[in-house]
Amino acid sequence: MKILVPVKRVIDYNVRVRVKADGSGVDLANVKMAMNPFDEIAVEEALRLREAGLASEVVAFSAGTAASQETLRTAMALGADRAILVETAVELQPLAVAKLLAAIVAREASRLVILGKQAIDDDAGQTGQMLAALLGWPQATFASKVAIADGRATVKREIDGGIETLEMPLPAVVTTDLRLNEPRYATLPNIMKAKKKPLEVLTPADLGVDVTPRLQTLMVAEPPPRHAGIRVADVAELVAKLKNEAKVI
């Protein structure tokens, strides 16, 4: 069984983002970039399935500019066998990425796609579900435990009221939540080895996919600022403020 793991190059989760003065977007110049944290969890899960003998190959995928090669090398340093980049300068939205992935799944005959549940840049949380829809596959989003046996997946999912367990036949799409696993770190020898692993570069046209954005961003603005209030000296002062000033208790 081949597992496909899409990874996205995003701003590092520790970086405080700044909105550009002209309102056209977020300033990404000279900002530390990294693999989307949920995708690291996806890579880890795929590797564990391969290490357990349940998968033959883990293929990493990314779409975007050539800079995404770096993210794919990271995935291969973690243990992915090879990588595919769909290179384009067009701003990619989730529907377009899902269409690219659907084309890759057909080409690669992948039986399982594990994605992050959302990317921490656009916070859209759509690609996995859209891919499942386009392929007509079952989906298990927000996964906190994945078990594969006899061509079926049993997945625990984090839902608003607690945990839900679903069972589905493969092929299927799984999206990862935070507590699915603890991703490993890449070792130096593996980082060196990853440089020699195959990385194929395609274009959207190679796959016959129209990636034209459907949403137009008119403006990006800072949220209304929230200012630090005051320090209270003790519990008595806090309670008095909450009662008399804020009037919330």
Partner 1 sequence: MPILVIAEHDSAGLKAATAHAVTAAARIGGEIHVLVAGSACSGAAQAAARIAGVAKVLVADAAHYAAQLAENEAALVVQLVQGNAGYTHVLAPATTHGRNMLPRVAALLDVAQISDIVAVEAPDTFVRPIYAGNALATVKSTDAVKVITVRTTAFDAAGQGGAAAVEAVAAGPDLGLTKLVGRELTESARPELAAAKVVVSGGRGLASSENYHRLLEPLADRLGAALGASRAAVDAGFVPNDCQVGQTGKIVAPQLYIAIGISGAIQHLAGMRDSQVIVAINRDAEAPIFQVADYGLVGDLFKLVPELTEALG
Judged by CB under 8 A, does residue 160 bind partner 1?
Answer: yes
Q: Cβ atoms within 10 A of the Cβ of 125, count?
A: 16
Q: Which of 118, 146, 181, 211 binds partner 1 (CB under 8 A)?
A: 118
Considering beta carbons, is residue 33 or 168 the nearer one to partner 1? 168
Judged by CB under 8 A, does residue 22 bind partner 1?
Answer: no
Residues 174-233 that bind partner 1 (CB under 8 A): 177-179, 214-223, 226, 228-232
Q: Could you tell me the smallest distance in angstroms from the CB atom of residue 151 to partner 1?
A: 14
Q: Which of 76, 117, 180, 209 binds partner 1 (CB under 8 A)?
A: 117
Buried b / exposed e over 194-228, threshold 16 CB at 10 Å, is beebebeebebeebebebeeeeeeeeeeeeeeeee
Judged by CB under 8 A, does residue 32 bind partner 1?
Answer: no
Considering beta carbons, is residue 17 or 205 the nearer one to partner 1? 17
Task: Tell me the C-alpha distance between 138 and 129, whole Å.
Answer: 9
Judged by CB under 8 A, does residue 131 bind partner 1?
Answer: yes
Binding segment toward partner 1, per CB under 8 A, in 48-56, 70-78, 82-90, 151-159 = 151-159
Q: Which of 77, 92, 140, 146 binds partner 1 (CB under 8 A)?
A: 140
Task: Tell me the C-alpha distance between 243 and 249, whole Å.
Answer: 5
Q: Could you tell me the smallest distance in angstroms from the CB atom of residue 199 to partner 1?
A: 28
Judged by CB under 8 A, does residue 33 bind partner 1?
Answer: no
Asked if 174 and 153 touch (Cβ cutoff 8 Å), the reply is yes
Judged by CB under 8 A, does residue 91 bind partner 1?
Answer: no
Asked if 111 and 2 touch (Cβ cutoff 8 Å), the reply is yes
Going by the DSSP 8-state scheme, the letter that residue 206 receives in this structure is G
Buried b / exposed e over 103-118, threshold 16 CB at 10 Å, is bbbeebebbbbbbbbb
